[in-house]
Amino acid sequence: MRDFSTQSARPDVVREELDFDVLFVGGGPSNLAGLWRLLDRIEAHNAVPGARRLEGLTIGLIEKGDDFGDHAFSGAVLDPAALLELCPDYRERGFPAEGFVSTEEVWLFTQRGGLRTPVVPPFLRNHGNPIVSLSKMVRWMAEELGKREVAGVDVMLLPGFAGSKVLWEEGRVVGVQTADKGVNPDGTPKGNFEPGNNLRAKITVFGEGPRGHLARELDEVLGLQADSANPQRYESGAKEIWELPEGRVPDGFVLHSTGWPQGDGESGGSFVYKMAGNRLAVGYVVSLDTADPFADAHLCLQKFKTHPRIAQLLEGGQMVQYGAKALAIGGWHSMPRLAFAGGMLVGDSAQMVNAARLKGIHLGMKGGICAADTILDALVAEDWGEASLGRYATAYLNSWAGLELYRTRNFHQILEHGLTPVAALKLGLSLAFGGWVPGEGLRGPGDAARTATTEAFYGKAGLKPSDMAPGVKFDGKATITKLDDVFASGTTHDEHQPGHLKIVKGDAVCVTCWETKGSPCTVFCPAQVYEMHPDAAGAVSKVAISFSNCVHCKTCDIKCPEGNVVWTPPEGGGGPKYTLC
Ligand SMILES: Cc1cc2nc3c(=O)[nH]c(=O)nc-3n(C[C@H](O)[C@H](O)[C@H](O)COP(=O)(O)OP(=O)(O)OC[C@H]3O[C@@H](n4cnc5c(N)ncnc54)[C@H](O)[C@@H]3O)c2cc1C
Q: What angle do CA 53, 56, 58 make, to 5 degrees?
A: 120
Supply the pLDDT for residue 13: 87
CA distance 442 to 332: 12
CA of 116 to the centre of ligand 1 (A): 30
Is the CB of residue 162 below 6 angstroms from any atom belonging to ligand 1? Answer: yes
Supply the pLDDT for residue 482: 97
The atom of ligand 1 lying closest to the CA of 328 is 19
Is the CB of residue 283 below 6 angstroms from any atom belonging to ligand 1? Answer: yes
Is the CB of residue 133 below 6 angstroms from any atom belonging to ligand 1? Answer: no
CA of 385 to the centre of ligand 1 (A): 28
Is the CB of residue 76 below 6 angstroms from any atom belonging to ligand 1? Answer: yes
Per-residue pLDDT of the chain (581 residues; tens, 9 = 90+): 566 666 766 678 899 999 999 999 999 999 999 999 999 999 999 999 999 999 999 999 999 999 999 999 999 999 999 999 999 999 999 999 999 999 999 999 999 999 999 999 999 999 999 999 999 999 999 999 999 999 999 999 999 999 999 999 999 999 999 999 999 999 889 999 999 999 999 999 999 999 999 999 999 999 999 999 999 999 999 999 999 999 999 999 999 999 999 988 889 999 999 999 999 999 999 999 999 999 999 999 999 999 999 999 999 999 999 999 999 999 999 999 999 999 999 999 999 999 999 999 999 999 999 999 999 999 999 999 999 999 999 999 999 999 999 999 999 888 888 788 888 899 999 999 999 988 776 678 899 999 999 999 999 999 999 888 667 899 999 999 999 999 999 999 999 999 999 999 999 999 999 999 999 999 999 999 999 999 999 899 999 999 999 999 999 999 999 999 999 999 878 999 999 99
Which residue stretches of 114-244 are H helix?
134-147, 213-222
Among protein residues, the one with the nearest Cα to ligand 1's atom 17 is 74
CA of 325 to the centre of ligand 1 (A): 8
Is the CB of residue 336 below 6 angstroms from any atom belonging to ligand 1? Answer: no
CA distance 480 to 487: 11
Among protein residues, the one with the nearest Cα to ligand 1's atom 31 is 28
How far, CA to CA in Å, does 104 sit from each of 116, 213, 252, 413? 11, 37, 8, 25
Supply the pLDDT for residue 571: 87
CA distance 223 to 272: 38
CA of 164 to the centre of ligand 1 (A): 18
**Ligand 1 probe mutation, 71, 74, 173, 213, most atoms within 8 A of CB:** 74
CA distance 83 to 372: 15
Supply the pLDDT for residue 2: 61
Among protein residues, the one with the nearest Cα to ligand 1's atom 51 is 74
Is the CB of residue 554 below 6 angstroms from any atom belonging to ligand 1? Answer: no
256 bridge partner residues = 106, 271
CA of 536 to the centre of ligand 1 (A): 43
